[in-house]
Amino acid sequence: MRKSNILLSFGLAATVMFASCSKNSEPDPVPTPTGGTDIRGVISANKTLTKDKVWTLRGFVYVTGNATLTIEPGTKIISKRDSAGVLVITKGAKIDARGTAAAPIVFTSGESSPIPGDLGGVVVAGNATANGNHAQMEGVTDANYNKFGGTNDADNSGFLQYIRIEYAGKSVNPNDEVNGLSMYGVGSGTTVDHIQVTRGLDDAFEFFGGSFNAKYLVAYNCADDDFDFDDGYHGNLQYLISIKDPAFTDSKTGGDLSNNLEWDNSNGKIPYNVTPNTHARISNATLIGPNNTTSSVIGNYGYGARFRRGAQFEIVNSVFLGSKLASFSIESTETATSFITGTSIFNNNIIQSVATSPFNVGADVTNGLTAAQMQTLSLNLVVLANATDAKLTDPFNVATPKVTPATDSPLLTGAAFNGNFTVANGFDTSVTFKGAIGATDWTAGWTVWNK
């Protein structure tokens, strides 16, 4: 969640702040016209965006009722800076966006010189359970369309496959923003895989409640958290990549930081132990921090994984490199207790941080948890002295990062799937490698770098 305006080291700060704040309220929805390539207002009947046209998303666009928005493989949807487009799939509606590796669907800027914030973002809401931490969707202020959640964890909001979302981030009000891909109360009947979010002003991915599962997600050069979980999200995730640009982040107040992973169960307005609990399960993530590179905004970077405010977590078979602060941070007594009792696990991972200690215990932890205990409870943990010991190809090359392991990398063997990762997670694949990529690079062909 973005807390304030952006800082850029590329001399674009003023332009970006103007782009992200110039629209402080939503236009009155109007029916989407049946002709032309502009998409506006409300879509209340089935509609298809065909690949033979470039479509322009104008302001907030709501897919409502029982309508399905179908987007053909290879379709390009652009957004102009003067009316940053936000696509909102409301409760009960569906999206059918099934791109392919050869023909991904692309949401991007329509400007000749694109900057973050040219596009608003993509928002999907469903009827799965959430814990009530948010009464409405962030950044979506129209009360007719901003509700989410229900009682059906098997709810189906459609398909999101092989999609790129570029230059997203719309600030509607202070602390009220749209992310690259926001999922609200989305159920497990929804198919989500092969999504890349690039150069966004706020979080790349933020999941508010819900039970959907996802694979093959890439967060690249986004300003705030790359994967942010809130409101009782309790799905399963495999193969995640997070790449941080050391020179691109948002300004920070009140202890907020840009992290690779951030977990919250409650923001404090309701009890930290409210249920359903934020309890994501992750296997095979590669999370690359800013490392020891210097920049004017490097102090805004935080942790590899930050678990706080009552959240529970399970992370296995993953690698954290170049975290500015600790790789592994636990905050709040409730979060610490779940780790001590084994409800939360951090097993079979490889970590390395720039900070002296890769472990952090928050000042609000009062049950006696220590950094040494965190290490002891993290079964089969490997702590590297240097990021190069992981032997990834070129993970800190911001322009063209390569997180594939070398042939002698310790990540190529040793993965383990047990406990919830055998019984409850339902992963299709039990692989031998740690991190997001083994010998075969699944990002090839559909992802784009150097943005």
DSSP 365-387: --S---HHHHHHHSTT-EE-SSG
Q: Specify the pairing of strand 94-98 against strand 158-166.
A: parallel
**pLDDT for 29 beyond 60:** no
Q: What share of the chain is helix, strand, coil (3-state, %, to 5)?
A: 10, 35, 55
Closest CA to 247 of 324, 361, 179: 324
State the Cα–Cα distance between residues 383 and 287, nearest whole angstrom.
15
What does pTM read for this prediction?
Answer: 0.92
pLDDT digits (tens, 9 = 90+) for 122-170: 999 999 999 999 999 998 989 999 999 999 999 999 999 999 999 999 8
State the Cα–Cα distance between residues 109 and 261, nearest whole angstrom.
26
Q: Which amino acid is at 123?
A: V
pLDDT digits (tens, 9 = 90+) for 172-227: 766 667 999 999 999 999 999 999 999 999 999 999 999 999 999 999 999 999 99
3-state secondary structure of 421: helix
**pLDDT for 290 beyond 70:** yes
pLDDT category at 12 given cuts 50, 70, 90 is very low
pLDDT digits (tens, 9 = 90+) for 408-422: 999 999 999 988 888
pLDDT digits (tens, 9 = 90+) for 81-120: 999 999 999 999 999 999 999 999 999 999 999 999 999 9
> According to the model, what pLDDT value does residue 26 have?
43
> According to the model, what pLDDT value does residue 28 have?
43
> According to the model, what pLDDT value does residue 175 have?
65
Domain boundaries, given as residue ranges, for the chain: 6-423
| Token reading at 107 | 């949401």
Q: Specify the pairing of strand 248-250 against strand 227-230.
A: unpaired
pLDDT category at 10 given cuts 50, 70, 90 is very low
Q: Which amino acid is at 29?
A: P
Mean residue pLDDT across the chain: 91
State the Cα–Cα distance between residues 199 and 165, nearest whole angstrom.
9
Share of the chain above pLDDT 90, in %: 82
> According to the model, what pLDDT value does residue 172 have?
72
pLDDT category at 255 given cuts 50, 70, 90 is confident
Closest CA to 168 of 214, 206, 194: 206
